[in-house]
Amino acid sequence: MVETPPKPAAGHRKLLPGRIIVATHNPGKLKEIKDLLSPLGFRPASAGELGLPEPEETETTFRGNAELKALAAAKAAGEPALADDSGLAADGLSGAPGIYSARWAGPDKDFAAAMQKVEDGLAAEAGPGGDVDRRASFVSVLSLAWPDGHVESFEGVVRGQLVWPPRGGRGFGYDPIFVPEGETQTFGEMDPAHKHAISHRALAFAKLKARLEA
């Protein structure tokens, strides 16, 4: 007899404060999520700290990959898990690097090289007179999953402009080349508290927080 796996529960599920697995091996992303979750009474523990494997990101959307990672961590740990899939989508590169944002940095997580790749790509796509489309978005999807397969996802998007050369040593990833709309500093230059208040991840987290407090 083949055992039928439990069906994911519909609707919102309550999650009480306590330990939560964060499905990441990225220290910068873990710190940012810790800063957001800790005030709510959650104690984030990363998949990297627990020795959980990183699943292959085989989906074609931010949401698909966030849910894949959250479910893999939740099932491996036997506890609720939170995953983020986020990235930079440059209008002038038809949305690239998009879901491949981390992969553009290679196995050594060389984001200096990844930012150079973005700039080189924009230059190659320049229009007549050398005009470069520097519009871009930062996208984040947070997925909260339980071991039985229940999952809830929340998306945040921030529009802005790409700059060159990179500015600022704060943040991580592509932060030094992205200036959000209405701001003059890149995410790499901003005070972390200000970035946490306006970032794509903060917008997704605000939706998650509303669910957690509901």
Structure tokens at 39: 């005030």
Question: What is the C-alpha to C-alpha distance for residues 180 and 186, in angstroms, rounded to an integer?
Answer: 7
Q: How many other β-carbons are positioned within 10 Å of the β-carbon of residue 79?
A: 16
**Vertex 188 angle, CA 99 and 179, to 5°:** 75
85 in active site: yes
**Vertex 115 angle, CA 114 and 121, to 5°:** 90
Question: What is the C-alpha to C-alpha distance for residues 101 and 26, in angstroms, rounded to an integer?
Answer: 13
**85, 131, 148, 191: which is the annotated catalytic residue?**
85
Q: Which amino acid is it at 120? A: D
Question: What is the C-alpha to C-alpha distance for residues 153 and 143, in angstroms, rounded to an integer?
Answer: 4
Active site residues: 85
